[in-house]
């Protein structure tokens, strides 16, 4: 699970669930621990072959498989127990650019060794935690459901815990004890599940110093990207002004000069030129309006993100359905980032996905603006192949925002944008609802 995807996972608010549900999850974790152990042993075998260069080619694939298991464990911890586990660390073995650097980068990755250490310890530590309630549960079921039917067929060596089962009274006592074991196992299962999630967090979360270093690196990168984007935007504005409004204003002045010279000698021609001046001034004004709209749409500044998105939907040739659940205005930079990112997604839906209908949902939940865009196109969108999607990621990264994309071949495509923001400004947009 990449950082882009994992950050968005949220628990169901019921740590462990009910007794039987938690017991079932403990059973799945105990079986999954065997898979994790097998993956860890596989990586160890590959590492043993690295000195003779045989394992160098296989190591990235083995590490990638191990990372998938670790990411799945992170997801289970947050969805089953509400315990958030730190996201995967670079080098992301699923990232082609980083994988291309070779096994040397992988061997120097602290995250890789953390994954391996977790895989080797999971069967012992995690397995013990989830097996304990299962042992009580199965032993209780044995005393409750099996002992009453077999005690007559077994000789005097039939013991259940500390009860010698050789009579009807002892059998009933063992059944009662089995019921107690069963109840204890069911009560313990949610706690064991929570303990397992905390163990997973401890095993897979990077130390604070590592997180701080990564955060500094990320901020440095996003600052550089923000500066590049700002410089590119300034160049675009200058180019648009030079090629658009400025050229028309120059033409307007020259036409006025010609009209002035002809005013006394050929009033009819001068009148025609003045009409051209009027048309040129209108086009220049339209160019300026479009330029301002591209910098910061007036409706976004005046009415907020909800109404701006509705306006965007009305201008689109697609059939766009907008649902807004924002309690008020967001900080202007956040609104601007969300608006232009959404505009890019809407353009992609019509231009690349061949969609005819789009659904947009805007919410503010858990301290973040969440925008979900779903279209009925043919899918297959990939940020690695689309500069527009990469541009959205760069735009959101300046705000620690994320883009999660689910776009299987054949569609539909669902893009979820999240931008952290907590504060609200006084509400000025129209009432929330579906537009």
pLDDT of residue 403: 86
- Report the Cα 338 to chain-centroid distance in Å: 15
Element (H, E) at 372: strand 368-375
Q: What does the pLDDT average to over 238-262?
A: 84
Q: What does the pLDDT average to over 224-253?
A: 81
pLDDT beyond 80 at 99: no
pLDDT beyond 50 at 7: no
Q: What does the pLDDT average to over 95-103?
A: 53
User: With 0-12 CB in 10 A as exposed, 13-18 as middle and 19+ as buried, what is 325?
Assistant: middle
Cβ proximity of 388 and 347 under 8 Å: yes
Which of these ranges, 194-198, 322-326, 383-387, 410-414, has the smallest mean pLDDT? 383-387
pLDDT of residue 198: 93
HSE, CB side, 13 Å, CA atoms: give it for residue 348: 28
DSSP letter for each residue of 58-94: THHHHHHHHHHHHHHHHHHHHHHH----PPP-SS-TT
pLDDT of residue 11: 42
pLDDT of residue 203: 92
Say how far apart CA 432 and CA 249 lie, in whole Å.
42
pLDDT of residue 425: 57
pLDDT beyond 60 at 94: no
Mean pLDDT, the chain, as a whole number? Answer: 82
Name the packing angle between helices 168-204 and 59-81 (round to 10°): 120
pLDDT beyond 90 at 299: no
Q: What does the pLDDT average to over 229-257?
A: 82
HSE, CB side, 13 Å, CA atoms: give it for residue 69: 27
By three-state DSSP, how is residue 105 classified? Answer: helix
Q: Give 374's pLDDT tier (boundaries 50, 70, 90).
A: very high
pLDDT beyond 80 at 331: yes
How does pLDDT run across 117-163, given as a tens digit for each residue? 999 999 899 999 999 999 999 999 998 888 888 887 776 778 888 88
pLDDT of residue 431: 44
pLDDT of residue 6: 41
DSSP summary character for residue 3: H
Q: Give 93's pLDDT tier (boundaries 50, 70, 90).
A: very low
How does pLDDT run across 51-63, given as a tens digit for each residue? 877 777 788 888 8
């Amino acid at each position: 699970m990449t950082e882009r995807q994992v950050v968005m996972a949220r628990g169901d608010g019921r740590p462990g669930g009910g007794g039987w549900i938690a017991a079932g999850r403990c059973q799945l974790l105990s079986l999954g621990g065997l898979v994790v152990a097998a993956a860890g042993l596989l990586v160890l075998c590959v590492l043993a072959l690295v000195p003779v260069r045989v394992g160098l080619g296989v190591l990235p694939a083995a590490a990638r498989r191990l990372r998938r298991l670790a990411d799945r464990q992170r997801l289970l911890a947050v969805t089953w127990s509400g315990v958030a586990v730190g996201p995967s660390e670079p080098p992301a073995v699923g990232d082609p650019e980083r994988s291309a650097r070779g096994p040397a980068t992988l061997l120097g990755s602290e995250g890789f060794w953390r994954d391996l250490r977790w895989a080797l310890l999971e069967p012992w530590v995690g397995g013990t935690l989830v097996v304990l309630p299962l042992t009580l549960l199965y032993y209780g079921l044995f005393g409750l459901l099996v002992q009453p039917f077999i005690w007559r067929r077994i000789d005097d060596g039939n013991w259940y815990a500390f009860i010698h089962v050789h009579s009807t009274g002892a059998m009933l006592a063992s059944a009662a004890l089995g019921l107690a074991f069963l109840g204890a196992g069911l009560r313990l299962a949610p706690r064991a599940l929570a303990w397992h999630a905390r163990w997973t967090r401890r095993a897979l979360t990077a130390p604070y110093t590592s997180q701080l270093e990564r955060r500094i690196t990320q901020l440095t990168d996003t600052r550089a990207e923000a500066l590049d984007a700002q410089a590119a935007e300034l160049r675009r504005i200058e180019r648009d002004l030079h090629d658009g409004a400025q050229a028309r204003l120059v033409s307007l002045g020259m036409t006025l000069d010609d009209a002035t010279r002809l005013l006394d000698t050929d009033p009819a021609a001068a009148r025609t030129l003045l009409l051209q001046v009027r048309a040129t001034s209108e086009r220049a004004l339209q160019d300026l309006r479009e330029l301002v709209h591209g910098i910061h749409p007036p409706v976004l500044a005046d009415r907020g993100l909800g109404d701006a998105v509705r306006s965007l939907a009305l201008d689109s040739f697609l059939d766009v359905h907008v649902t807004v659940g924002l309690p008020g205005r967001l900080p202007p930079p956040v609104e601007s980032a969300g608006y232009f990112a959404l505009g890019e997604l809407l353009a992609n839906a019509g231009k690349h996905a061949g969609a005819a209908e789009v659904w947009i949902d805007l919410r503010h939940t858990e301290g973040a603006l969440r925008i979900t865009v779903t279209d009925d196109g043919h899918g297959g969108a990939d940020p690695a192949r689309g500069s527009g999607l990469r541009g959205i990621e760069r735009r959101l990264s300046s705000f620690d925002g994320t883009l999660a994309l689910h776009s299987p071949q054949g569609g539909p495509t669902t893009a979820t944008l999240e931008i952290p923001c907590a504060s609200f400004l006084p509400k000025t947009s129209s009432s929330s609802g579906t537009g």
